Amino acid sequence: MNFLSPDSKHVVIGMLHLPPLPGSPLSRDSLNKICELMMADAKALTDGGVDALMMENFGDVPFYPGRVPAHVVAMMTRVALEVGRVSKLPLGINVLRNDGLSALSIAKAVDAKFIRVNVLTGARVTDQGLIQGIAHDLMRSRSDLCATEIKVMADIDVKHSAALAARLIEDEVEDAVKRGLADAIIVSGAGTGKPVNLEKLAAVARAAGKSPVVLGSGVSAENIKSLMPYAWGFIVGTSLKFDGDVAKPVDVARVKKLTAACR
């Protein structure tokens, strides 16, 4: 699969929500156990028919606003390699809250195909404080690593954050694509699993032009058909878990129901 190919559409990206990694405040599992859990989720998502996977350090609250410690990078790399043993789907990496440089390094090491960056351009007020865009460093690092094959998906009006000042979302999209060099745009609701405003989604789709638009939250088997006219792809996590609980394992039956609705 040529990820982000213009020929592909309605791509379903299944989430791998890492439990708290060793060293984080809520850590409870060994790294070996975490690898087993993520391999099981990866297999369920793959068997259910998703087109790609995305892994993020979801359980590592409270998140670092910028660079994470070396041990986080090392452990995420280990998990990503183990996931690759059970699934050959394209893999994406997101290092929360906004460590795109570490995500890029992990992706290069494990042959991942894309990364997610929550604040590529501009600035946002978050529970981690003020987070500023990293496009200037990230895109230079991508060139230095000869890693232009790794695509960058950039959030617009990212969840769990607020703008510093009112600004047209169309202008934010244009900046992310033309000045931040994003390969794709992600739009989501206010928080994990929350639906996106359809007017906002439509505005982003219009502004993005030929750049792929990916819906980043609130997608389920029940609503995906109504969202398909606006989005190239869908990042899906919460609704694919048992009982729709983000803390539970992936339910392959829920995955199959969603991918069937999408097809």
Closest by CA position to 78, among listed 130, 25, 14, 22: 22
For residues 120 and 98, give the distance between their C-alpha atoms in angstroms, rounded to a whole number. Answer: 8
Is the predicted pLDDT of residue 191 greater than 70, yes or no? no
For residues 121 and 113, give the distance between their C-alpha atoms in angstroms, rounded to a whole number. Answer: 21
- The pLDDT tens digits of the residues spanning 96-107 come to 999 999 999 999
Is the predicted pLDDT of residue 2 greater than 70, yes or no? no
Is 210 in contact with 185 (CB distance < 8 Å)? Answer: no
Is 178 in contact with 172 (CB distance < 8 Å)? Answer: no
Distance of CA 35 to the CA centre of its chain: 19
Is the predicted pLDDT of residue 246 greater than 90, yes or no? yes
Q: Coil, helix or strand for 17?
A: strand
Distance of CA 33 to the CA centre of its chain: 23
- Write down how long the chain is: 263
Is the predicted pLDDT of residue 6 greater than 70, yes or no? no
Write down the pLDDT at residue 7.
64
- 130: which 2 tokens? 């003020």
Is the predicted pLDDT of residue 9 greater than 90, yes or no? no
Is the predicted pLDDT of residue 60 greater than 80, yes or no? yes
- The pLDDT tens digits of the residues spanning 126-168 come to 999 999 999 999 999 999 999 999 999 999 999 889 998 889 9
CATH superfamily, region 11-262: Aldolase class I (3.20.20.70)
Q: Coil, helix or strand for 130?
A: strand
Q: What is the mean pLDDT of the chain?
A: 94
* Sequence ranges of the domains in the chain: 11-262
Write down the pLDDT at residue 40.
98
Is the predicted pLDDT of residue 79 greater than 70, yes or no? yes
Is the predicted pLDDT of residue 1 greater than 60, yes or no? no
Is 199 in contact with 187 (CB distance < 8 Å)? Answer: no
pTM over 0.75: yes
Helix (H) or strand (E) holding 234: strand 233-236
